[in-house]
Structure 1
Amino acid sequence: MTALNASNKDLLTVGLAQITPVWLNRDATLAKISDYASQAADQGCDLVGFGEALAPGYPFWLDRTDGARFNSDIQKEIHARYLDEGVCIERGDLAPLCALAKDRGIAIYVGIMERPLDRGGHSLYCTLVYIDKQGQIGSVHRKLMPTYEERLCWAAGDGHGLRTHPLGSFTVGGLNCWENWMPLARASLYAQGEDLHFSCWPGGSHNTHDLPGFIAKESRSYVMSVCGLMRIEDIPADVPHRDLIMGNETRGLLANGGTCLMGPDGQWVIEPIIGEERLAVATIDHRMVRRERQNFDPAGHYSRPDITQLVVDRTRQSTLVIKDPAK
């Protein structure tokens, strides 16, 4: 059963799941994501979102183990484990989550480390996946530009996933982490009618303290910022070079969360959640979007396409184009 309130089509209930991964364990993390998605459905959510690269986890080891050292056996061993745990959509790794979305009538945004076969199957992409209420994958957005040390283990994506999706009265779109700082990436979603913006992060309140408010005021949209959480003590015993990654620490935070929800008027609906696993739920009202668009609509009455336009290439990039002879 869908949770959309039939008596008021403007209302949408959203869930923001700030959770830790079962780090570098794809199947266990996807099972945990499914559990929280089910909890969100139990609470009447139409949409639930999860943090960046949550399955199987963010590469926290890079800045703790001299990750830029070239030809390092340590880096190769950790990376090989990361690659082994990558999410392969073509293999069906997300099929159980899609089935849950269909069965429970809930849409899902989830951050994964994708190991795609269309790029040879041996590179990882930081990917944001949208699954609709019918259990269909609507978009697979590979992060356009990995940030700083992320480039040591993630490949650069393309524009194929810069798409929006209808959800009740809303139109949802999403970006990964620091892509949310990219004006043209944001503008590409605004121009496709986005009025509920989803941003996913590995976790860090410094990232979500100011940016959601800026995006909300720029776009006159709701902004869901969903973060991961990672504690030193959550590093599993079987992770390669665990002692080196942990250093002298046995407790503490590698990522402190910061999940929040901002209204189109720049006011908090859910203030940043720090240091705890939690499923936060709120009901948002599309009438707020229409109110705020009265004096500013960046892709509508406050745009000048005769002067400035944005061109987006949504071709899925590949090193191979096969042209078979006609039979």
Structure 2
Amino acid sequence: MKVKVGVVQDYPVFFDREKTLDKMESILSDNAGHGYQLLVFPESFIPGYPRGFTFGASVGKRSEAGKDLYAEYHDQSVDLKGNALKRLEELSRAYQTYLVVGITERSAEHGSLFCSMVYISPTSGLLGVHRKIKPTGTERVIWSEASGEDLVTFDTEIGKLGGLICWENYMPLARMAMYQKGIEIYIAPTADARESWVASMRHIALEGRCFVLGCNQHITRSMIPERYHDMLTEEEEEMCPGGSVIVSPSGEVLAGPLWNSTGIVSAIIDLDEIARQKLDFDVNGHYSRKDIFEFRVDKQPDIYNEKKPPNG
């Protein structure tokens, strides 16, 4: 089965949920005639990955200005029981495109924020949500940790979808949690713009014998509203050059990496290629050595069939 996929390398309207949704709609409209069956948007695209912001936090101290900014960020984050989700579902349905979107999610249960990605089907709406199980570095100031129940995968009409966010992809056991579900399209939104990240995407494709969609942002200082500039720690104009890429199960780069500009990295992927590559190596099959190794993930759900009720 062949699927046309696209990785959107762009920037949001910081920190404005509704205007970012407007921008997403514009991107979808501009590309409506290109036949995309799946489009992936970057890490925390709604309402923006807060690169360079400290939120006034240091060890043993938080500033009032930082708390004010956090409150604004919290307010503009996505409640999955609110109108933002409904609009994402409407966009997916209107353009007949699966959407995987990086969001900062506001938890209705206890108020914390999570770095999440939502999976939206054009026919079934919200399939589910993956919440980052380990925020990196000072991300821990603003984002909470999720658990095994958020290591989700989905069996859809375009293949088995799943993935991890940013440096979760450096966690071998988290990757194995994805592989053991038979993932075919592995989605990896990130804020890591180093050239070495592309090597990691190629490694994951070879290790999991799956297609890997690495999605990053392209952000310059001038793209962030001037009223926030005094709060930024980064003074350079180029803040994130991107590097979005699509890799085949043989580790071949099919498209990208895209540097220093916005755009959509796209490819037509053939899911039959996965079985061909598993002749050489199958991490969950003849290379798993289950007679030696035992692997268990606490609370990880079974793969969701698109027609079954999802988590989230």
Taking structure 1 as the reference length, the TM-score comes to: 0.85
Aligned match of 2:74: 83
Tell me whether 1:258 sits opposite 2:258 in the alignment.
no
| Pair 1:41–1:289, CA change in 2 (3 A) | farther
Aligned match of 1:182: 171
Partner deviation per Cα, 1:233-265 (whole Å, 9 max, x = no partner): 0111444xx324277x4x712111110011111
Partner deviation per Cα, 1:159-178 (whole Å, 9 max, x = no partner): 22312222446211111100
Aligned match of 2:292: 307
d(CA) in 2 for partners of 1:73, 1:207: 37
Aligned match of 1:218: 207
d(CA) in 1 for partners of 2:292, 2:261: 47
SS at match of 2:251: coil
The number of aligned residues is 300
Aligned match of 1:234: 223
In structure 2, what residue type is equivalent to 1:271?
G
Aligned match of 2:261: 276
Aligned match of 2:58: 68
Q: Relative to structure 2, which stretch is displaced further, 196-205 or 163-172? A: 163-172
In structure 1, what residue type is equivalent to 2:253?
W
| Pair 1:307–1:130, CA change in 2 (3 A) | same
SS at match of 1:30: helix
d(CA) in 1 for partners of 2:95, 2:172: 35
Q: In structure 2, which of residues 83, 94, 103 is the aligned counterpart of residue 92 of structure 1?
A: 83
Q: In structure 1, which of residues 115, 137, 149 is the aligned counterpart of residue 106 of structure 2?
A: 115
Compute the displacement of 1:313 (Å).
2.9
| Pair 1:185–1:41, CA change in 2 (3 A) | farther
SS at match of 1:130: strand
SS at match of 2:48: coil
Does structure 1 conserve the Cα–Cα contact (< 8 Å) formed by 2:56 and 2:64? no
Does structure 1 conserve the Cα–Cα contact (< 8 Å) formed by 2:9 and 2:215? yes
| Pair 1:296–1:246, CA change in 2 (3 A) | closer
Does structure 1 conserve the Cα–Cα contact (< 8 Å) formed by 2:37 and 2:96? yes
Compute the displacement of 1:30 (Å).
1.9
Compute the displacement of 1:53 (Å).
0.8
Aligned match of 2:307: none
| Pair 1:283–1:25, CA change in 2 (3 A) | same
Does structure 2 conserve the Cα–Cα contact (< 8 Å) formed by 1:175 and 1:198? yes
Partner deviation per Cα, 1:243-290 (whole Å, 9 max, x = no partner): 24277x4x7121111100111111110121111110122101122212
**Structure 1 gap segments, 5+ residues each:** 1-9, 317-327
Please identify the structure whose Cα radius of gyration is greater. Answer: 1
Aligned match of 1:24: 15
| Pair 1:34–1:312, CA change in 2 (3 A) | farther
Aligned match of 1:320: none
Aligned match of 1:6: none
d(CA) in 1 for partners of 2:186, 2:282: 15
d(CA) in 1 for partners of 2:31, 2:127: 20
SS at match of 1:90: coil
Does structure 2 conserve the Cα–Cα contact (< 8 Å) formed by 1:203 and 1:228? no
Compute the displacement of 1:116 (Å).
1.3
| Pair 1:144–1:73, CA change in 2 (3 A) | same
In structure 2, what residue type is equivalent to 1:36?
I
Aligned match of 2:232: 245
d(CA) in 2 for partners of 1:71, 1:149: 13
**Structure 2 gap segments, 5+ residues each:** 302-312
Compute the displacement of 1:220 (Å).
1.1
d(CA) in 2 for partners of 1:11, 1:137: 23
| Pair 1:219–1:78, CA change in 2 (3 A) | same
Equivalences for 1:138-153 in 2 at 5 Å? 138-153=127-142
In structure 1, what residue type is equivalent to 2:299?
R
Compute the displacement of 1:150 (Å).
0.5
| Pair 1:304–1:282, CA change in 2 (3 A) | same
Q: In structure 1, which of residues 96, 99, 102 is the aligned counterpart of residue 93 of structure 2?
A: 102
Compute the displacement of 1:40 (Å).
4.3
Tell me whether 1:52 sits opposite 2:43 in the alignment.
yes
d(CA) in 1 for partners of 2:193, 2:169: 14
Compute the displacement of 1:61 (Å).
3.4
Taking structure 2 as the reference length, the TM-score comes to: 0.89
d(CA) in 2 for partners of 1:169, 1:86: 29
Does structure 1 conserve the Cα–Cα contact (< 8 Å) formed by 2:56 and 2:62? no
In structure 2, what residue type is equivalent to 1:109?
V
Tell me whether 1:198 sits opposite 2:183 in the alignment.
no
In structure 1, what residue type is equivalent to 2:287?
Y
